[in-house]
Amino acid sequence: MITKLLIANRGEIACRIMRTAKSMGIASVAVYSDADAKALHTRTADEAVHIGPSPAAESYLVGDKIIAAAKETGAEAIHPGYGFLSENADFARAVIEAGLIWVGPKPESIEAMGLKDAAKERMIAAGVPVTPGYLGEDQSLERLSAEAEKIGYPVLIKAVAGGGGKGMRKVDDPADFAASLESCQREAKASFSNDEVLLEKWITSPRHIEVQVFGDAHGNVVHLFERDCSLQRRHQKVIEEAPAPGMDEATREEICGAAVRAAKAVDYEGAGTIEFIADASEGLRADRIFFMEMNTRLQVEHPVTELVTGFYLVQEQIMISSGIPFSFSQEDVKQKGHAIELRICAEDPQTFVPSPGKIRRCRIPQGPFIRVDGYAYPGYEVPIHYDPMISKLIVWGNDRSECIRRLERALTEFMLTGVKTNIILHRNILGQKKFLDGTYTTQFVDKHLGPNKEDFFMFVEDDVFLITAAIEAYNDSKSRDVSNYALASRWKDQARNDSVRS
């Protein structure tokens, strides 16, 4: 078993992995940039190594520095978390060649699923249903335009090396195809150094359903059921839940079986996610769910799977990378209850513009079946250099209705000042009929809750909390003479402007 683990990441996922390592008796090593010198993951690790300036390209994305930190501290293994180098096959190979344990899939599996066109071809061969489209080598405008006409508009142009919503364009009108293609290729080239694209039929009522899979080094592959990740804005996930609303057993059996076939097709080891797009125009149906891509890493939303199955995914990752076979079979994996995860981000809740700055006060919800994975604390300076997600609120209930009620209560307790957050966006979503009915699609947030949408409404603020935050903000200023309530009220107004909250 591993005795010392380096986490090649930051923020809440680094903290989450460290907690699991500690519970397993494994020492943890953090790496940090200039911006993260006082971050929670840096402060709570057994050891921490500085790896460079704040920009990720000069720190968290420099594999040589991370491997050097592992050797310097005597760490035997590297866990990449998600993002950064987690799906970089060259880095995984370099870790292994350095004589270290890579807590993740084999480099060959990462490469097999790294390009969307090659992955789709492999899935077709494995009998996994894929979205109708074009993934040929001819990338000329003439050929792509002709293929789009065959598919039928609207179509989706997608970068073959894409991810995170980059390099994707929906095209409704043939007259817009050339300009959209050029824009997509330009963004793909800048983001992934690869401007090749594929075309897919645009699903008009799309649901984003994914299946958690695990493989060990002994040829065993299991699934841990599905998650619904359809609540997105600009192709970025906002809320995830398990199980997927409206999923019947026949459809569940089909999609989970397809996910296992997909993982076996690339000889997969470790934690991975098979992502599907579902045409939900007539509800979820087994014959209308298509493979999109595979994420060869841990997902942000993995806690909802943990809460409904009782299996702790990071612990399983570490055990698998140590060569230990599964201690359970597919028949042992059961679902109980319902879990929902909200991504709490330091951003404007209507424009989605990041809101870096100093967190002045922080109130975290508590109670039975409520979990918060995060790294925010009073006085922490949220940097501008990285993803704005600062916490995840995960709640479990015996059924979806109980889970939502518990989530609503938890959100009324969750407050941050000093930065704007999307907490109020989540409260808006939870009040929408389509969310309550479980009939939302991937277009729901952008259509109903974007900038200046009529469905977006504000909430009464917690004056006691804000006044306390205002006094603290005032005490940080040049003068410390807080002599009357009126003065505190003026600073309260500033605190309100600093942070949109529930």
297 flagged as catalytic: yes
Strand 270-279 relative to strand 236-242: parallel, antiparallel, unpaired?
A: unpaired
Distance of CA 183 to the CA centre of its chain: 25
Cβ-count burial of 61 within 10 angstroms (0-12 exposed, 13-18 middle, 19+ buried)?
Answer: middle
Residue 43 near residue 72, CB atoms below 8 Å: no
Residue-by-residue DSSP string for 255-284: HHHHHHHHHHHTT--EEEEEEEEEE-BTB-
Burial 69-103 (b: 16+ CB within 10 A, else e): bbeebebbbbbbbbbbbbbbbebbbbbeeeebbbb
3-state secondary structure of 388: coil
User: Given 297, 343, 361, 406, which residue is catalytic?
Assistant: 297
Distance of CA 16 to the CA centre of its chain: 14
Are residues 495 and 469 in contact, defined by beta-carbon separation less than 8 angstroms?
yes
Question: Minimal CA–CA distance to 87: which of 272, 323, 227, 258?
Answer: 272
- What Cα–Cα distance (Å) separates residue 173 from each residue in 153, 180, 186? 7, 10, 20
**CA dihedral (97, 99, 100, 101) positive or negative:** positive
3-state percent breakdown (helix, strand, coil) of the chain, nearest 5: 40, 25, 35
Q: Measured between alpha carbons, how far apart are the two ends of the chain, in Å? A: 45
Active-site positions read: 297
